[in-house]
Amino acid sequence: MKFTVQRNLFINDLNSVLKAVSSRAQIPILSGIKLELTEAELIMTGSNADISIELSQPVSDDLRVESTGSIVVTAHLFSEIVRKLPGREFTFEVKEGNQIQITSDKADYVINGLDASAYPRLPEIAGTSFSLPSKTLRELITQTVFAVSTEESRPTLTGVNFSFKNGQIKAVATDSHRLSQRIVDIAAGPSEDLSLIIPGKNLQELAQIIGDADQDIKVYLGDSQIRFEFENLSFYTRLLEGVYPDVDRLLPTESTTSVQFTVSDFMQTLSRASLLTHANRTNAVQMTLNVADQTVLVSGNSPEVGKIEEEVGFSSLTGRDLTISFNPDYMAAALRASVTDSVIINFTESLRPFTVVPNDQSVEFVQLITPIRTF
* Helix/strand/coil (H/E/C) assignment for every residue in 234-266: EEEEECCCCCCCCCHHHCCCCCCEEEEEEHHHH
Whole-angstrom distance, CA of residue 225 vs CA of residue 124 = 9
Taking only the tens place, the pLDDT of each residue in 3-17 is: 999 999 999 999 999
* Predicted confidence (pLDDT) at residue 167 exceeds the cutoff of 90: no
Taking only the tens place, the pLDDT of each residue in 217-270 is: 999 998 899 999 998 999 999 999 999 999 999 999 999 999 999 999 999 999
CATH number for the domain that contains residue 48? 3.10.150.10
CATH number for the domain that contains residue 323? 3.70.10.10
Q: Over the chain, what is the mean pLDDT?
A: 93
210 and 239 housed in the same domain: yes
Which pLDDT value is given to residue 106?
A: 92
Please say which residue of 247, 271, 305 terminates a domain: 247
184 and 205 housed in the same domain: yes
Angle CA 32–27–13, to nearest 5:
25
SS3 336: helix
212 and 317 housed in the same domain: no
Mean per-residue pLDDT for 35-44?
Answer: 98
Q: What one-character-per-residue DSSP string does 18-43 give?
A: HTT--TT-SSGGGGEEEEEE-SSEEE
Determine, yes or no, domain membership for 87.
yes
Whole-angstrom distance, CA of residue 196 vs CA of residue 173 = 12
Question: 104 with 7: CB under 8 angstroms?
Answer: yes
Whole-angstrom distance, CA of residue 348 vs CA of residue 343 = 17
Domain of residue 291: give its range: 251-369
284 and 365 housed in the same domain: yes
> CA-CA distances (angstroms) from residue 149 to 55, 146, 173, 180, 259?
30, 9, 8, 12, 28
pLDDT over 70 for what percent of the chain?
100
Looking at residue 122, what DSSP letter applies? P
Whole-angstrom distance, CA of residue 32 vs CA of residue 47 = 8
Determine, yes or no, domain membership for 374.
no
Question: 210 with 139: CB under 8 angstroms?
Answer: no
73 and 134 housed in the same domain: no
Q: Count how many domains the chain has.
A: 3
Which of these, 325, 320, 317, lies nearest to 350 by C-alpha position?
Answer: 325
Confidence band of 375 (pLDDT split at 50, 70, 90): low
Whole-angstrom distance, CA of residue 133 vs CA of residue 216 = 4
pTM of the model: 0.91
Chain centroid to CA 138: 8
Which pLDDT value is given to residue 223?
A: 85
76 and 187 housed in the same domain: no
13 and 103 housed in the same domain: yes
112 and 134 housed in the same domain: no
Angle CA 316–321–325, to nearest 5:
95
59 and 109 housed in the same domain: yes
Please say which residue of 212, 247, 282 terminates a domain: 247
187 and 241 housed in the same domain: yes
Amino acid letter, 197: I
DSSP H or E stretch at residue 80: helix 75-84
Whole-angstrom distance, CA of residue 33 vs CA of residue 146 = 30
Question: 42 with 56: CB under 8 angstroms?
Answer: yes
Confidence band of 110 (pLDDT split at 50, 70, 90): very high
Which pLDDT value is given to residue 187?
A: 80
Which of these, 345, 127, 317, 119, lies nearest to 222 by C-alpha position?
Answer: 127
Which pLDDT value is given to residue 303?
A: 78
238 and 172 housed in the same domain: yes
